A and B are shown apart, each in its own frame.
Chain A
Amino acid sequence: MTMLEVRDLTVTYRYGGASLAAVRSVGFTLDGGEILGVAGESGSGKSTMALSLVRLLPPGAGITGQVLFHGEDLTTATWGKLRAVRWAQASLVFQGAMNALNPVRSVGEQIAEPIRLHERVDHRAIGRRVADLLDSVGVSSRRASAYPHELSGGQRQRVMIAMALACRPDLIIADEPTTALDVMVQAQILQLLTDLVAQSDIAVIMISHDLAMLADTCDRLAVMYAGRLVESGPAGQVFAEPRHPYTQALSRAFPRVGDPTSRRAPASLPGEPPALGAVGDGCAFAPRCSLVMPDCLTRDIEPWPSGPGREAACLLVLPDPAVVGEDGPRVGERHPRVGASD
C-alpha cells in the first residue's frame, strides 16, 4: 500500500464573508524511503498544504479531499486517532528552530516529551533513547542538558530533527528545514536527512522556496503556484528541463556557476503571485507568463502528462493545445476542480 496518498486536497480560509482557497486540488503519492520536494514562492500555499496533511491549521480552515495515510483518511479521522498519528507516525520539522524549541527547557527534555506521551517506556529507557537520538543527528549526547540558546543554529536544527525522529515515525514533514542556516550547515543537515532516509524507510516531504536545493536532495519534485501543483516529476529532470513556464522561470532564477548565460545576467520573473482569492478562470500564472495564449485565460488547466513520471499544468505540454478540448487526457482518477469555485 502507498504510505501517503493525497487526493484532490483543497484548503479554504474564511475571510470576511468570502472563502479563499489557499490550496486547490492538490494530489500526489509518497512511498517509504522517498523524499518529495515541494517548491514555491511565499504565498504559494506550500506550508498550508503540508500542515493540512496532519490538520495543524487554525480552526477557520476548511479541508476537503482525502489524505490517505496508511489507507486511513486523516481529513475525517477522529481527534484521538489524529493525536496518535501526530509525532508517532508523522512528525514535523519547522523552520527557525529557535522559535520552535521551548527556551526554558533543556533540549533533552524536549526530545523526551513525545516519547513520554506516546509510549509506555520507563525513565531510564527514555534517557538512553534521547542520547541515541542526539548521537544519530550528530550532536554529542552530553548536550542533552543544554538549553536551546546554548546551541548554534545548526545544532538546534539537528535537535529539531532528533525530536521529529523520537517516536520512529514513517513520515517527516520538513518545512523549510534549512532556510535560516549557512550554506555549509545546510549541506550538513541535508546530508543528515538523506542518510536517515537511506538507512530507514522514512518518507520525507521537504518544503522550500529553494528549487536548486530541492533538486539536489529530493527524489521527486512538485512545484506549487497559487495553491496548485503546476509541475511534478523526477527532481533532477524538473529542475534541469522544466516544462511549465513558471518552473522554467524559477529554475533560471538560481544561477549555475560556470554557465555563461547567467554571468552578469541575473534572471528574474517580473510581477507578483496573485493574491489569495484573486484567482479567476484559466491559468493562475497567465498574467506573468511570457508564453501566454488566448486559451490560457479561459480553459480549465489541469496537470497533464509531460513525460515519463511527469505532469505539468500547462496547455503547452499538450500534443496540440488547439485541438484537445474539455475531454482532453485525464491523469489517473483526478477529479475536476472542486475547491476553486470562489
Chain B
Amino acid sequence: MTIDRAAPAGASPTGGAAPPALEVRDLHVTFPSRRGRGPARAVDGVNLTVGAREIVALIGESGCGKSTLARALVGLVKPTSGEVLYRGTTLGYSNAALKAYRRHTQLVLQDPGGALNPRQNVFDAVAEGLRLHKDTDRLGARVHRALSQAGLRPPEQFLERYPHNLSGGQQQRVVIAGALALEPSVIVADEPVSSLDASARGEILRLFLDLRDTLDLSALVVSHDLGLAWNIADRVAVMYLGRIVEVGTVEEVLLEPKHPYTRSLLSVLPGTLSHRRPILLTGEPPDPTAIPAGCRFHPRCPAAAELAPHDPRRELCHSRALPPLTGTGRPTSVASCHLIPSPVPSPSGVG
C-alpha cells in the first residue's frame, strides 16, 4: 500500500515533458490599503508547481497569505501580477474562462458545517456544481458516483439527509463529493481537517491519498499543520509573509529543515515528546501591510538574533532583500535565507 502511494514519477518536474497540473509564476496579490495602513501584500512573489498526481502541502501561520494563494489558484482572487497556469496554459479572467477553469480545479474549505447549506440535502449539495454548469445528464448516477468516491457508501443512505444529521467527517465528505462531481483534476483544500475530530481527521486525509490513486487527482493542501504534510504530501512549501521560504520533498524539509522559520515551526509541533527545546518565535504573526526590509523574517529570526554584533551577515539579514524562490525543491530542497551557505541565491541574483 505504501509503495503505491509513493510519489509518481510524473510528478517530477525534471522528469517529463508534461507540464505540471497547476503552476503559479511570480504571483502577487495586493489588497488596497485600509484605514491609513499601507496596501497588504498578501502574496508577494510566489512560484509554485503542483505536478500531475502530486500532493503538495502549503504550510504557514495565519496571515501569511496561504489562503489568498489558494484562492488565487482556483481563480477566486485575481492576481495583481504574475500568472496561474493550468496544464501549461495561462488562466484568463473572463467569466467564461473562469467558469471552464473551475470545473478542473475545485476548492474545499475548512469548515464543512459552514460550507453546506443547512436547508439543502446531500443530493442537492453534491448536484449543485453540475447544475450551475448546466451539465445535468445522468445527474443521479453522477451524484451517486461522487458520493461513493468520497467514501459515503452506500450513497442511497445519504442522499436525503441534511447537514445536521451528519457528523463533521461526513459533512466534509459531502463537500468533497460536491467537488468530485465535476470530475476535476486538481483539488485545492484550505485546512480540510482542522475543524474535525482526531478520528475523522485520518479518514479525510486517507481519502486524499485514495483519490490520487484512483482518480489521478493532484492536490494542494493548505494547512498550519506540519503533521498533515508528513501524513499525505509529496512535497511541502513553507510560506511566510507572502513568500515561500522553503520548498522541497516532505522528507527533506521536515527531517532536515534549512530555514530557521521551518525549524522553529517543527520545534513547537506537539506530540513529538522530544527533549528538543521549542524555539518560540516572539511577537504576533507578521503584518502584510508592513513587510520588513531585508529578509522579511529577520525581526523574528532566532538565527539572525544569535549573530555576533559585528558579523557581516547581520547587515545582509537586515537590509538585503531575498529574491523569490524559483525552484521546485526537487531533488534538493531550497530555502530563502542569507545564513544558508549554498545553494542560496547569490547576492548578484538580487534585483
Contacts and interface: CB of A to CB of B under 8 A. Distances in A.
3 nearest interchain CB pairs?
A212-B271, A268-B202, A269-B199
Given A184-B285, A239-B273, A253 B265 contact: no
A264 B209 contact: yes
A266 B264 CA distance: 24
Contacts of B264: 184
A182 B203 contact: no
B204 to A, nearest CB: 8
B91 interface: no
Interface of B: 1-2, 5-6, 61-62, 167-168, 197-203, 205-206, 209, 224-228, 230-232, 250-251, 254-255, 264-266, 268-273, 278, 280-282, 284-285
Given A183-B225, A213-B271, A239-B271, A258 B254 contact: yes
A54 interface: no
A323 interface: no
Contacts of A152: 284-285
Residue of A183, A187, A236, A240 ringed by the most chain B CB atoms within 10 A? A183
B61 A183 contact: yes
B227 A183 contact: no
Interface residues of A, number: 45
A210 B202 contact: no
A191 B281 CA distance: 12
Given A255-B228, A257-B254, A269-B199, 12 more contacts: A42-B168, A152-B284, A185-B285, A186-B268, A209-B197, A216-B270, A217-B270, A254-B198, A258-B255, A263-B2, A263-B250, A268-B205
28 contacts: A41-B199, A152-B285, A153-B62, A182-B61, A183-B224, A184-B61, A185-B61, A186-B268, A187-B278, A211-B271, A213-B270, A215-B270, A216-B273, A249-B199, A253-B199, A253-B201, A253-B202, A254-B198, A254-B270, A255-B228, A256-B271, A257-B230, A263-B2, A264-B6, A264-B231, A266-B201, A268-B203, A272-B167
A4 interface: no
Contact of A268 (B167, B206, B268, B281): B206
A182 B60 CA distance: 9
A155 interface: yes
A215 B285 contact: no
